[in-house]
């Protein structure tokens, strides 16, 4: 099931999904048990530096968050699987990415599923090469612009049964493919959805 709300009203971004109840290291030191695990992937040439500030903001709010190159996707997936098997992976697990990093996030989520590890939420910003989502994430939120030459809506691959929320952002002033990761609007929308998962 896919939905395609347009950003005619900013409030649409801040509604939690209907089914709702970062390069740093993979395990950061926090003063107490983390409220969730968030992994973010940057796009080509290490763009998406806005994710660095977002990850710091998440860590300040007691979430375990890290940012990685899209080229590190395989290593990150291996590490997440290892932590899960050792019982050291905080949940819920959220994976996100921008541009080629969005493509990496989609593929990592699918790979984790083949290793018996589900992703609780997948957040993508303007995926450029991957247009479908395999089984793996329980829910997907895709922020994209239809006419910027990069972004696209996402559709389910065979076997994916969760909700896909496609949010089209073409009408948002000053927003483009290369600064979506730094958008306070998008970052806050992601945080709202993470909080819906954690109940906090």
Give me the domains of the chain, ranges plus CATH numbers.
2-198 (3.40.50.1820)
**What pLDDT is attached to residue 27?**
47
**CA distance readout (Å), 99 to 95, 109, 130, 149:** 14, 16, 10, 11
Please identify every stretch of the chain with a pLDDT value under 50, giving residue numbers as ranges: 4-12, 16-24, 26-30
Within 35-113, strands assigned E span 37-42, 64-69, 93-98
Query: Which pTM was predicted?
Result: 0.87
Residue 189 main-chain phi, psi, to 5 deg = -65, -40
What pLDDT is attached to residue 33? 74
> Residue 200's pLDDT is what?
73
Distance between alpha carbon 194 and the CA centroid of its chain, in Å? 10
Q: What is the per-residue pLDDT for 98?
A: 98
What pLDDT, on the 0 to 100 scale, is given for residue 186? 98
Name which of 164, 161, 95, 162 is nearest 131 in CA terms.
164
Helix, strand, or coil (residue 133): strand
Cβ proximity of 66 and 23 under 8 Å: yes
* pLDDT, position 189: 97
CB 92 within 8 A of CB 84: no
């Amino acid at each position: 099931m896919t939905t395609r709300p347009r950003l005619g009203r900013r409030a649409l971004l801040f509604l939690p999904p209907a089914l709702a109840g970062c390069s740093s290291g993979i395990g950061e030191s926090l003063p107490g048990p983390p409220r969730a695990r968030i992994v973010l992937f940057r796009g080509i040439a290490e763009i998406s530096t806005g994710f660095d500030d977002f990850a710091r903001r998440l860590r300040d709010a007691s979430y375990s968050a890290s940012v990685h190159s899209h080229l590190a996707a395989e290593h990150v997936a291996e590490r997440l699987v290892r932590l899960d098997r050792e019982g050291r992976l905080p949940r819920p697990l959220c994976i996100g990415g921008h541009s080629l990093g969005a493509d990496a996030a989609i593929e990592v989520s699918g790979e984790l599923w083949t290793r018996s590890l589900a992703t609780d939420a997948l957040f993508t910003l303007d995926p450029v090469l991957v247009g479908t989502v395999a089984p793996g994430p329980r829910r997907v939120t895709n922020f994209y612009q239809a006419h910027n030459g990069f972004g696209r809506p996402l559709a389910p691959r065979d076997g994916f049964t969760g909700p896909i929320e496609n949010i089209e952002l073409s009408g948002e002033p000053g927003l483009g493919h290369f600064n979506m990761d730094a958008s306070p609007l998008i970052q806050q929308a992601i945080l709202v959805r993470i909080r819906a998962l954690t109940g906090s």
